[in-house]
């Protein structure tokens, strides 16, 4: 069954057709990669689906319900979560508090002014577990602003993950992370996502990563979907190779190694 379906989705910024007539379906438990050159509209598509932006026209269906006109919080409650390309955290709170906040929010406890947050051991334990999953245990008490770029990126993902969403958008979760850590982070994300049966859409520039982890790859260019298919199908698609690497030929993707 389709978890998400966009129908002729459009978002223009003046002359820029950032998202142009995108009709995309995401099946349940799929791991989809969204790729494309800079400025292709990947982030904008996620922004529209997650309600950061309103679409100019088109429809968004989630589990068959029309959510085109719902707010950010409604979509979060429905089970759509996301991380951000440019890290977006609560800088004056600790890593631990960043995560607990997501958990409190998921459990509907953030409206409660009459209990002490740190005495909720259930939530604390879960937050610690999430931090452990993302290898952030040692940074538990650090303020988010004091973390290294790679750790901030991970914490950003951890926040979205802690919401236990049905559909998780990750916008370049490994950008700014050293190549050495990249594989480890992606392994972490992939195992966590698959283990929980979460549907994930990940924006990523590193094609090695994309081929390794995706069930399906969606290629965008100039706001439109250019091609989509299994990693193998995309690997052998000359047109895609042209767009992504500026070179043609069947072994365009493997050239560098």
Partner 1 sequence: MQNDASRTGPSMLLILACVIPILVVLVALPKFVDTYQIQLLTYGLIYAIAGLGFNLLLGYTGLLSFGHSAYFGLGAYSAAFMAKYFGVGSMEIYILGGLLITGLVSAAFGYICVRHTRIFFGILTLALSQVLWTLAYKFFWVTGGTDGLRVPFANLTLLGGLIDFKGRDTYQAFTQSYYYYVLFLFCICTVFMWVIVHSPFGKALQAIRDNETRAQFLGVRIRHYRWFAFLLSGSFTGLAGILWVPLNGLVTPDILYWPFSGEIVFMTVLGGFRTFTGPIVGAVVFNYLKVYAVASTAYWQLLLGVVLVVLVLALPTGIVGTLSRLFGKFRKR
Q: Which two tokens stand for residue 144?
A: 């988010």
Q: Which two tokens stand for residue 69?
A: 């006109």
- Residues 6+ away with beta carbon under 8 Å from 12: 18, 20, 56
Smaller CB separation from Mg ion, 47 or 68:
47
138 binds partner 1 (CB under 8 A): no
47 binds partner 1 (CB under 8 A): no
38 binds ligand ATP (CB under 6 A): yes
Q: Return phi, psi of residue 165, to 5°.
A: -80, 165
How far apart are alpha carbons 40 and 225 in whole angstroms?
A: 9
171 binds partner 1 (CB under 8 A): no
CB of 58 to ligand ATP, least distance (A): 16
91 binds, among partner 1, Mg ion, ligand ATP, none (CB under 5 to 8 A by kind): partner 1
The only residue of 3, 4, 9, 18 in contact with ligand ATP, by rule CB under 6 A: 18
Closest to 49 in 3D by CA, of 28, 30, 72: 72
How far apart are alpha carbons 194 and 239 in whole angstroms?
A: 31
Binding residues (CB under 5 A) for Mg ion: these are 43, 85
Q: Which two tokens stand for residue 243?
A: 């767009």
How far apart are alpha carbons 84 and 105 in whole angstroms?
A: 18
In sequence order, what E strands does 178-248 have? 199-203, 216-221, 224-229
Closest to 170 in 3D by CA, of 221, 205, 215: 205
- In this chain, which stretch among 158-166, 178-186, 209-217, 232-240 interacts with partner 1, using CB under 8 A? 158-166
Residues in the interface with ligand ATP (CB under 6 A) total 12
Smaller CB separation from partner 1, 100 or 221:
100
Binding site for partner 1 (CB under 8 A): 50, 52, 72-73, 76-77, 81-82, 84, 88-94, 97, 100-102, 104-106, 109-118, 120, 141, 143, 159-160, 163
Applying CB under 6 A, the residues found at the interface with ligand ATP are 13, 16, 18, 36, 38-44, 85
């Amino acid at each position: 069954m389709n978890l998400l379906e966009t129908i002729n989705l459009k978002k223009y910024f003046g002359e820029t057709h950032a998202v142009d007539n995108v009709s995309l379906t995401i099946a349940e438990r799929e791991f989809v990669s969204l790729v494309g050159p800079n400025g292709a509209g990947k982030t904008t598509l996620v922004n529209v689906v997650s309600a950061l932006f309103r679409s100019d026209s088109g429809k968004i269906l989630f589990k068959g319900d029309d959510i085109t006109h719902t707010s950010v919080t409604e979509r979060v409650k429905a089970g759509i979560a996301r991380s951000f390309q440019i890290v977006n955290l609560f800088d004056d709170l600790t890593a631990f508090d960043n995560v607990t906040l997501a958990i409190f929010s998921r459990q509907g406890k953030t409206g409660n002014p009459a209990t002490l947050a740190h005495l909720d051991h259930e939530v604390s334990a879960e937050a610690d577990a999430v931090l452990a999953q993302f290898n952030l245990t040692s940074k538990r008490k650090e303020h988010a602003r004091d973390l290294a770029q790679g750790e901030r990126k991970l914490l950003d993902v951890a926040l979205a993950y802690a919401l236990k969403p049905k559909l998780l958008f990750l916008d370049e979760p490994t950008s700014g992370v050293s190549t050495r850590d990249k594989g480890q982070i992606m392994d972490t994300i992939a195992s966590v996502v698959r283990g929980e049966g979460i549907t994930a859409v990940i924006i990523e520039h590193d094609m090695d990563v994309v081929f390794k982890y995706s069930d399906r790859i969606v290629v965008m260019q100039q706001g439109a979907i250019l091609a989509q298919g299994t990693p193998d199908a995309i690997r052998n698609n000359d047109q895609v190779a042209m767009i992504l690497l500026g070179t043609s030929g069947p072994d365009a993707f493997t050239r560098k190694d």
